[in-house]
Structure 1
Amino acid sequence: MKKIFYVVTLLMAVLLTACGGEKEQPKETDTAAVEKQMEQVMTFNLGADPKSVDPQLNSATDGGIVVNNTFEGLMRVDANGKAQPAGAESVEISDDKMTYTFHLRKDAKWSDGKPVTAADYKYAWLRALDPAVASEYSFQLYYIKGGQEFFEGKGTKEDVGLEAVDDHTFKVTLKAPTAYFLNLITFYTFMPVREDAVVQKPEGWAKDPSITLSNGPFKISEYHMNDKVILVPNEHYWNKDSVKLDKIVLTMIVDSGTALTAYDNNEIDVLGSNQVPVQEIPKRQVEDPTFHIVPFLGTYYYIFNVNKAPTNDINVRKALTLAIDREEIVTEVTKAGQQPATGFVPTGLVDSKGNDFRATAGDYGISTTADVEKAKEYLAKAGYPNGEGMAPVELIYNTNEGHKAIAEAIQEMWKKNLGIEVNLVNQEWAVFQDTRHVGNFEVARAGWIGDYNDPMTFLDLWTSYSGNNDAQWNYTKGDFPENKKFDALIENSKVAQGEARDKDLYGAEKIMMDELITMPIYYYTGVIMVKDKVKNWERDILGTWYFGNVEIIE
């Protein structure tokens, strides 16, 4: 493509000269300018500096975008959400669905040219299960025989069902058949890493271009904290011929207004999910063909800290949940076609019979509009009639104009409907994640995007052993017997099939919703903007962006 464009440019210059035009043949400096114009560069706004871009430590969408384009797992999700062979060229599944044997591509290489081996996958997966590493996604590997036991100190890593048979054969043994296992392993946590890179700088190797190694279509050439990441093609990638971009600039503009201005000034080519100021959405929908509202499998919600007053009282949690008007939030604040949320699992996921999980599970008595009278009853039961005697509630959110607007709307609803004061506190993204994770909050903003197409991806994060259970709802650390029942249902669902599994999953959501450890607000849609010149971009319903096939055509 580049060579053809260059030849045409030179021929045009020659023809103009022959016809008596005023243009001269390109000089050496002109050739350099032409080649610079031909460079395939895409600028994408991440929206924040990712807390991590380490496959086993990342737990956020922004870091996942970097990981998904610099690393490659055994399988990769295609544009239709189907798992396809990637780092593996084929897989054999045993008759009992318990053993998966992956045959790795013999031409798969790391960015330094060394082969990607089965031992690299084994190292990465055991690293995710190592309690010393404290991966928030370690629970995703509990499907593997011996995985949970290793993480909990009840078994050794030698007992985990992972075997590097030879350099190009990786065998995985599960504890029970898992129908969505191939989809599961497309997730970031399952991507390989090289031990010799990790040990040099365990906490920061992935952001250090002098150390980091990757096996995906791109590699990190520069990392400037709170500014930008530069990705360039991995010249050793097995499918390098499909990669057209010469460079990807990942900016970290937090303020949506600033990001949109940069987009309008052609300084940014792509705005990732939900980076358009809400007041701009109605106008852009009508006037800007590069504006898109796309499906997004996720739930926007607030987390209650069930281990800290006043939200350790379920009556307070019920009052706060019933006192908000979700319809008003999606129509007057977010304005992008979101659906009010009355349960945690979003619409779009089905059970074994093909029924929509959300529609079947119901709304747990949560209305899309405010039920003020019932909310007041629960607040009075908690000992705060009309909000009297209740200290101001602290609500934290990560710095973002959209999150701020929602928080302000809810602050006003709680004040008007319950008579309580709410203090809003915003924090920088990485700090916010740590604050929420350690439980240093009362109410906190959150959002969960599915990792794969199954209701389990929204439910198992609330188990006692999940690194993402920021509600602090954990029977091993407090008096939460319902959490123990919840764990049992999730564990049963991992070995159950069909309707029996459905019953476990529906039962699990009912427990967490009856306990109201979270306050669902709405189900996501994705608001994105992509310049017309950016071709062949891929973003699936899980919000995963892939740039391996992108081409810039002016």
Structure 2
Amino acid sequence: MKKTSKWLVLMIAIIMVASVVLAGCGGGTSTDGEKKDQTAGEQPAKEQVLRLNAKTEPPSLDPATTTDSTSGDILRELMEGLVRLDENSQVKQGSGMAESWEISEDGLKYTFHLKDAKWSNGDPVTAHDFEFAWKRVLNPETASDYAYQLYYLKNGEAYNAGKAKAEDVGVKALDDKTLEVTLEAPTPFFLQLTAFYTLFPVNQKVVEANKDWAAEAATYVSNGPFKLTKWEHDSEVVIEKNENYWNKDKVNLSKISWVMINDDNTEYQLFQNNELDIAQPPTELTKELIDKGEATSKPILGNYMFVFNVEKEPFTNKYVRQAFAAAIDRESLINNVTQGGQIPAYAFVPPGASPDMGVDFREKNGDFVKKPAEAKALLEKGMQELGLKTFPKVTLSYNTNDGNKKIAEAVQAMWKQNLGVDVELTNQEWKVYLKTLSAGDYQIGRYGWLADYMDPMTFMDMWVTDGGNNDTNWSNARYDELIKQAKSTGDQQVRLAAFQEAEQILMDEMPIIPVYFYTRVFMQHDNVKNVVRHADGSSDFTWVTIE
């Protein structure tokens, strides 16, 4: 996903920090996360309104350019792909725009049959909209950071690189209701990937008529459970039930609103005053609220990390990078600052990211990051290679958020204590910060990443040379070769071996500092039922009922 999910980066409901993780979200004291079917026509008597906090302005609600979890959580309610994941994060036929599909014996061709569905403006949703949307993402003129999510298509990467034509790409509408997809190689997680927002359709007629269609509520057209009715920038987003949605009778909410309050204590007060239905606790109250049962902590597939711009000294040297990674006392940080049950990260891929491989990848590949006692020697080796007598002051950047600030201050103190270096802190609003990272205008930056699907590839292909979400400027030919190898086969043993070696290279070169694996920490009022929270950190509010 998703910066929390770069954009990750990038917004997720990690405890306090909800920092938005690159590739965000969820809610409460009630741990009820099961989807319960509602009888058609059985609508609650009172208006059903869900009130949430996005913390910050969503950078983009266009599927082709969305890369962060703040935008992604809203977009998942507005748009719908070929499939929609169920309450167990599994693919189920008929759950999305596709009524059914067939897969060829060699795993290279998928034929999707679309159900009768409409856009919010009344236009029919067609296979042509999917073909147009996917090729639009791949079109180099779109400059989509997530174009690589469609490199699995035949000639997808070649088209994005200007080496093939649009008509050569392996997606074709055979008629209004039939979409044929041809892949470069068997891709075990492809069906799951079709639920990700980069692969959502867009209304071709609307997009071609107005390039800024996704910038304002008045021009936004969607095919999902809700439609965009208000977008007061930097203040509030409101979506309302889409009367044209094919499954509208199962949608109980009449409205969802997101305010944009980036202060944890204010958010907590709004929740206490019953002005928000789901919220994240302030950092300093996280442990207390979890212990009292007023907040819930659940592991999700994501990383809180720092990234280096490897083209800016002194972080051109891998031993310097290794030293900064080693000097962070992760257990102390979690026990004394975040306090949300996070797992210390001594490698990159989180536990639980390899459900189809027969082994847990994290357990299989082990730990790599050195401990604080080894940090000083690594720094001295790096300084010697760089010819430095004294270490220069460096800057750590982060997106504005109370939790991020507390973590940055704690890490700043650890680097001073364990390395003897001075680190300056600087922060920016989320949308601006993402641009700063993308431009490479930083030395060390806070980063977060949530899984886009359940496979190690969603983490590993981030760091290929010139990757859309690779803001480190790091490049390694062998790493690129291994990721390409893992993408060229459906053989899980071959993929596993490639991922293992690739992660070893990544952790030796250390263009990133894994800090901890995320948990989602949230508070939720007891009358809010049926929130679906996926293992990748995303939330689905489609089936929520307010009692």
- 2:203 is equivalent to residue 190 of structure 1: no
In 2, Cα distance between equivalents of 1:417 and 1:379? 15
TM-score by structure 2 length? 0.89
Q: Which amino acid aligns with 1:87?
A: M
In 2, Cα distance between equivalents of 1:250 and 1:67? 12
Match of 1:64 in 2: 72
- 2:405 is equivalent to residue 412 of structure 1: no
**Cα RMSD between the aligned structures?**
1.7
Among 377, 384, 388, which residue is 1:374 paired with?
Answer: 377
Whether the 8 Å CA contact 2:138–2:147 is kept in 1: the answer is yes
Match of 2:55 in 1: 47
Following superposition, the deviation at residue 201 of structure 1 comes to: 4.0
In 1, Cα distance between equivalents of 2:532 and 2:205? 32
Following superposition, the deviation at residue 265 of structure 1 comes to: 0.8
Change (3 A) 1:324 1:4: closer
- 2:289 is equivalent to residue 284 of structure 1: yes
Following superposition, the deviation at residue 495 of structure 1 comes to: 1.8
Tell me how many residue pairs correspond in the alignment.
505
In 1, Cα distance between equivalents of 2:519 and 2:102? 36
For structure 1, the 5+ residue unaligned runs are 7-37, 475-482
Q: Which amino acid aligns with 2:529?
A: K
Match of 1:261 in 2: 269
For structure 2, the 5+ residue unaligned runs are 1-38
Following superposition, the deviation at residue 5 of structure 1 comes to: 7.1
In 1, Cα distance between equivalents of 2:518 and 2:456? 16
Following superposition, the deviation at residue 264 of structure 1 comes to: 0.7
Q: Which amino acid aligns with 1:286?
A: D
Task: Write the deviation string for residues 428-486 of structure 1: whole angstroms up to 9, x where unpaired.
Answer: 00000010011110000001100000000000011124210011114xxxxxxxx1211
In 2, Cα distance between equivalents of 1:305 and 1:160? 34
Aligned ranges 1:130-529 → 2 under 5 Å: 130-202=139-211, 204-271=212-279, 275-289=280-294, 291-350=295-354, 353-367=357-371, 370-382=373-385, 389-474=390-475, 483-496=476-489, 497-529=491-523
Q: Which amino acid aligns with 2:130?
A: Y
Task: Write the deviation string for residues 215-273 of structure 1: whole angstroms up to 9, x where unpaired.
Answer: 000010000111110100110000000111111111111111111111111111112xx
Greater helix content? 1
Change (3 A) 1:163 1:151: same
Give the number of the structure whose alpha-carbon radius of gyration is greater. Answer: 1
In 1, Cα distance between equivalents of 2:191 and 2:426? 40
Task: Write the deviation string for residues 398-447 of structure 1: whole angstroms up to 9, x where unpaired.
Answer: 00011111110111111111111111000000000010011110000001
Match of 1:113 in 2: 122
Match of 2:82 in 1: 74
In 2, Cα distance between equivalents of 1:182 and 1:3? 32
TM-score by structure 1 length? 0.88
Change (3 A) 1:184 1:406: same
Whether the 8 Å CA contact 1:315–1:381 is kept in 2: the answer is no
Change (3 A) 1:454 1:552: same
In 2, Cα distance between equivalents of 1:352 and 1:168? 31
Match of 2:17 in 1: none
Q: Which amino acid aligns with 2:377?
A: K
Q: Could you say what secondary structure the match of 1:84 adopts?
A: coil
In 1, Cα distance between equivalents of 2:401 and 2:162? 40
Following superposition, the deviation at residue 365 of structure 1 comes to: 4.6
Q: Which structure carries more relative contact order (alpha carbon 8 Å, separation 6+)? A: 2
Q: Which amino acid aligns with 2:102?
A: E
Whether the 8 Å CA contact 2:395–2:443 is kept in 1: the answer is yes
Aligned ranges 1:29-40 → 2 under 5 Å: 38-40=46-48
In 2, Cα distance between equivalents of 1:199 and 1:351? 40
Q: Which amino acid aligns with 1:437?
A: S
Whether the 8 Å CA contact 2:317–2:386 is kept in 1: the answer is no
Following superposition, the deviation at residue 318 of structure 1 comes to: 1.4
